[in-house]
Each structure stands twice: as C-alpha cells, then as structure tokens.
Amino acid sequence: MKVLCVAVPAAGHVNPLLPLVGALVAQGHDVRVATGEDPGGVIARSGATFVRAGRTEMEWFEVLRSRVRGVPGDGLAPERINHYFVPRLFADIGAADMIDDVVEIGGSFAPDLVLFEAYAFAGPLAARVLGVPVVHHLISPMMPHEVCDLANDAISPLWRSFGHTPPGWAGVYEGLTIEVSPPSLERQSVPTGESIQLRPSPRPIRPAVPSAPPVVYVTLGTFFVNPAVFRTVLDGLDGEDLEIVVTVGAVNDPSSVGPVKPNVRVERYLPQVELLPRCSAVVHHGGSGTMFGALTHGLPQVVVPQGADNFLNAELVGNCGAGLSILPDSLDPAEVRRSVRAVLDEPSYATSAKKLGAEVASMADADRVAADLAARFST
C-alpha cells in the first residue's frame, strides 16, 4: 500500500503521526510525508520518505503578521485562540501554501490512501482531487466543531478553485477518523463517519515506582521559551520536600531558568518514558504530547497553559478530575504551590488520572491500526 501523509510543518504536528507512520513502514508499506520541513530529521528516521510541500510554519506566521500589521492574536481571550488561528493560519494560509505541492506529489506517487493530521487542511482536498480515500489522524482532543465550521468557510474558495464544493468541517471528517483521546477526556464525538482509536503515547516501559521524596516533572514543551514561567514554578515549589526535574527544550539553555536548589535538576531533554514512572505529578504547558504522556502513566497534572490548544487541554484535564490549571493571570508562586500540593495530597486527582491511564492502555497500538488501514485500503 502507498500512503501519502500530509502534516503541518512543525514537530507538534509531525511527531504524533510517527508511531503510525513507523508501523506502516515496518509492515512493508511505502509511506511519504508531505510537509514544509522534516523537524529534526524525524521523518527520515521513521523510515518514511520526506517530500517538501510548502513553506515552514514560521513563514506562515510572517504572512499572517504582515496581513494584520501586528502580532497575530494579540489581546485574544484564551477561549478564542483556536477560533482565530485555525481558520486564518492553518486553513487560509497553510492549506493554500501546501496544496499545489501535495497534489503534484500525489499525482506522481499515486497513493492508495491520503492520511492527514487534524490541522493539515490540504490533506482532504488533495484526496478529493486525487480521487483516493482519506483518513483523518487526530493529534489531540478534537478542536471545537465550531472551529471546523470557521475553517470550512476559510478554505471554501480553495476547494472551489479545484472545482469542488467543501463538504463541511473543512473536509476533515470526509472519511475514517483516528481518535487519540481516552473517552473520559474527550468531550465531543466525531460528527460524521466512522472512527477508530489509537493509543496516543507508548506503553510505560516499566511499572510505576514513585520516588521518595516525590518527583515533580516540570516542562513547557519542546520549543517554548519563557524562563519567567519556569522561574515562577520553581519559586512556588521552593522549600517543598520534592525532587524537581525540569526540561527546557533542546533549543533552550538550562541556565536560563536562573539559580536552582540542590533538589532541582534542569536539562534540555529527557525521555519521558524513562522519567515518568518515577514521578508523582507533572507541571506542564498543556501540550497534547505531555498531557497524554502523563495520563498514560496515571499521573495528576497542573497545567499552566501558554497558547494554541493548551487552554482547551487544561479545561479537559480539570473536567475529568485528573488535575488543576493555572491561567496566565493567576500564575504566581503561591498558586503554583497550592495547586501542586493539592494534586499530590488529594487522592482523587491520582485516582482520576489512573482511570484515564487504564483507558489509554486499552486503546489499539500503532501496529494494530496500521494493519487495520491495510485491510481497509490496500488495492
């Protein structure tokens, strides 16, 4: 089977596809990933072929910046971030930038299937133009359906330029949808079509053995650069009987967080699968990868959202009882201390997190989903 994957050119969009991409390659399928760049060479290392389609995400931001003559989204309320950026950045600018390259790649590759991640709106349109089946790979909880409606409006002229009428929801629910959220976390259901589940993060490599004193893992993602937030978290936990492990991201300097006490370890990067079995709680920005990783290990969370889908994820974690969130206007050392102590000391948070971890464990792994796709779409 030949599979053409389409992804927004950013690690947070490409990386969640890689378990399934790697499984498809391992099962003998020819997989090509069309995106604006191969972040960190991860596509090549998965065994798939990287093919360039469009420019980088930062170049998309510059286009949007020039249009608004300022900082895109400046002054937005957190609950409006997706409503603003998804139709403008990903549907209007991103899809238009990628679509001609994706269609050209597909024309020469002749795929049996187009697989796209949730924000790569060029994917379903390219599948329609090429006349092949399409599979929607969620990389996080579903974006609000009204956001998809806005994206549908934004991308409508692009669909019509190819002689097609957009089918609603920007085409993302045209075919099969792969869901990655455990049922108790996800608050929406797929509006149309069939869906299957895929585990969002690897199984724990060993049983959980929390350390004493408790280990609290603090991360703000791979590329986020705001040492002041790290500093606020560390100041809030100062004097607590905890071991604190901080990762600042591969491109950031560990010294940027300032001086730390002996119970604090600061690194650029540590494999979460090795660290999380020792942890008792996670403080993070609300990125889906970290959220799912913590839930997979049954760990309660304190979410300090910074942007993008962080605020939605923070709300979902709170709604299911697996943690607390601290919004930017409320972030100070005292609130950090209160929230971390709450998720460590109140058993209900760990109980809810472990329930979600059990749901994640029951979801299909990438090998099983790859075999399912081959059974459905191989010619």
Q: Tens of pLDDT along 233-255?
A: 999 999 999 999 999 987 788 88
Looking at the fold, whether 293 and 372 belong to one and the same domain comes out as no
Looking at the fold, whether 343 and 367 belong to one and the same domain comes out as no
**What integer pLDDT is reported at residue 379 of this predicted model?**
72
One-letter amino acid for residue 92 of the chain: D
Domain of 282, CATH number, reads: 3.40.50.2000
In degrees rounded to 5, what are phi and psi of residue 104?
-65, -45
Structure tokens, 205 = 């490599």
If you ran DSSP here, which 8-state letter would residue 322 be given?
S
Looking at the fold, whether 329 and 274 belong to one and the same domain comes out as yes
Query: Nearest-CA neighbor of 287 among 230, 202, 221, 340?
Result: 221
Looking at the fold, whether 100 and 174 belong to one and the same domain comes out as yes
Residue 283 lies in a domain: yes
Total domains, the chain: 2
Looking at the fold, whether 25 and 164 belong to one and the same domain comes out as yes
CA distance 353 to 351: 5
Q: What is the mean pLDDT of residues 3-18?
A: 96
**What integer pLDDT is reported at residue 223 of this predicted model?**
61
Under 8 Å between Cβ of 223 and 247? no
Looking at the fold, whether 310 and 349 belong to one and the same domain comes out as yes
One-letter amino acid for residue 181 of the chain: S
Enumerate residues 6+ apart whose C-beta is below 8 A from 272.
Answer: 217, 290, 293
**What integer pLDDT is reported at residue 222 of this predicted model?**
72
Query: Nearest-CA neighbor of 51 among 111, 113, 101, 122?
Result: 101
Looking at the fold, whether 136 and 20 belong to one and the same domain comes out as yes
Residue 117 lies in a domain: yes
Instruction: Note the Cα 308 to chain centre separation in Å.
Output: 10
Looking at the fold, whether 349 and 368 belong to one and the same domain comes out as no
Residue 205 lies in a domain: no
Residue 264 lies in a domain: yes
Q: What is the mean pLDDT of residues 62-68?
A: 96
Looking at the fold, whether 248 and 153 belong to one and the same domain comes out as no
**What integer pLDDT is reported at residue 237 of this predicted model?**
96
Residue 224 has pLDDT above 80, yes or no: no
CA distance 260 to 234: 8
Residue 74 lies in a domain: yes
pLDDT digits (tens, 9 = 90+) for 151-185: 999 999 999 999 999 899 999 999 999 999 999 99
Looking at the fold, whether 295 and 367 belong to one and the same domain comes out as no
Q: What is the mean pLDDT of residues 77-99?
A: 95
Mean pLDDT score across all residues of the chain: 94
CA distance 82 to 76: 10
Under 8 Å between Cβ of 260 and 218? no
β-pairing, 30-35 vs 134-137, is unpaired
Looking at the fold, whether 224 and 82 belong to one and the same domain comes out as no
Looking at the fold, whether 346 and 368 belong to one and the same domain comes out as no
Residue 38 has pLDDT above 80, yes or no: yes
**What integer pLDDT is reported at residue 211 of this predicted model?**
86
Residue 83 has pLDDT above 70, yes or no: yes
CA distance 192 to 174: 8
Give the number of C-alpha atoms closer than 13 A to the C-alpha of residue 71, restricted to the C-beta side: 3
Query: Nearest-CA neighbor of 52 among 93, 1, 14, 20?
Result: 14
- 71-75, 162-166, 292-296: range with lowest mean pLDDT: 71-75
Residue 225 has pLDDT above 70, yes or no: no
**What integer pLDDT is reported at residue 14 of this predicted model?**
96
More confident call, 212 vs 137: 137
Under 8 Å between Cβ of 242 and 217? no
Q: What is the mean pLDDT of residues 291-298?
A: 96
**What integer pLDDT is reported at residue 308 of this predicted model?**
78
**What integer pLDDT is reported at residue 303 of this predicted model?**
97
Residue 63 lies in a domain: yes
Name the residue range of residue 318's domain.
215-361
Residue 376 has pLDDT above 90, yes or no: yes
Structure tokens, 141 = 């909880």
Burial class (CB within 10 angstroms; exposed 0-12, middle 13-18, buried 19+) of 287: buried
Residue 206 lies in a domain: no
Q: What is the mean pLDDT of residues 312-323?
A: 96
Residue 209 lies in a domain: no
Residue 30 has pLDDT above 70, yes or no: yes
Neighbouring CB atoms inside 10 A of 78's CB total 17
